[in-house]
Amino acid sequence: MKKLETRRDIEDLVNFFYDRVQNDETIGFFFNDVAKVDWKLHLPKMYAFWETLLFGQISYKGNPMAAHFPVNAEVAMEKFHFEHWLKLWVETVETHFTGEIADLAIYKARNIANLMAHKMEVARRLK
């Protein structure tokens, strides 16, 4: 395993992860059927997102929370979905990378999953 150190490493991590997500029985449908993600557009956004979070490069411009609300309005994104997303992320990171930045990627993802699950639940209650 190698250390997570470069933009190229982030691209590899994101690609490995979303290859799994696209084929995942629990959450793949959110991406494929509900959001109908255009991967050629989505993956570069995710590279920039994680580069910003992990390396402090301000390459991401966007609002991830706002991007998820319309999907949640169509099909409920529940806590177990985010827990599963996190499980896939952790497995992907731990399979391919090691070191402080890999640990940080897991820590940040855990925070994101918890926050997103909470915000999506609140949004559903306010409907």
3-class secondary structure, 5: coil
Q: In the structure encoding, which two tokens stand for residue 50, read together?
A: 């994680």
Q: Which residue is listed with tokens 């999907």?
A: 71
**Please, which pLDDT band fits residue 127 given cuts at 50, 70 and 90?**
low
pLDDT at 12: 98
Whole-model pTM: value is 0.95
CB 10, CB 4: distance < 8 Å: yes
Which residues partner with 104 through β-bridges? none
**23-49 per-position pLDDT tens digit:** 999 999 999 999 999 999 999 999 999
Length of the chain: 127
Pairing of strands 97-98, 2-3: parallel
Report how far residue 103's alpha carbon sits from residue 85's, in angstroms, rounded to the nearest whole number.
16
In tens, the pLDDT along 95-125 reads: 999 999 999 999 999 999 999 999 999 998 8
Domains of the chain from N-terminus onward: 2-126 (1.10.490.10)
Please state, in angstroms and rounded to a whole number, the distance separating the CA atoms of residues 121 and 77: 8
